[in-house]
Amino acid sequence: MIESVKTEATILSNLDHPNVIKVKHLIQLNAKYFLGMQYLPGATLQTFLKTKFRNDGKLADTEAAQLMKGLLHGVVYLHQKGIIHRDLKPQNILIDDFEDLTTVKLIDFGLGQQNTRFK
């Protein structure tokens, strides 16, 4: 399992796309591994939607289009690199800035799961 996580971390650290979280490095301290990732001060899409619907109950078409455009650009990039996310859901999508929905990023690639790359 550790070798699988190392391999996945190496693959992810070579990704560079504005809609995919940047993995910086994998560090081993004693018997524990730590994954260093890009810091984003925003929140998940789940939090954004809860906030949005609590305030006015509506997601404008332009907002939905911006979110989907960023998500699809990220997914296409991953697929071009042979990577399948396998767990797309609001909790695994970050928005860096709620005022700029183009800042959406895919996160949580399920490190350690098998068959996450196209064969």
* Catalytic annotation, residues: 87
* Rounded-to-integer distance, Cα 29 and Cα 34, Å: 8
Helix (H) or strand (E) holding 33: strand 32-37
* Rounded-to-integer distance, Cα 74 and Cα 37, Å: 17
Give the distance between the most distant pair of CA atoms in the chain.
Answer: 50
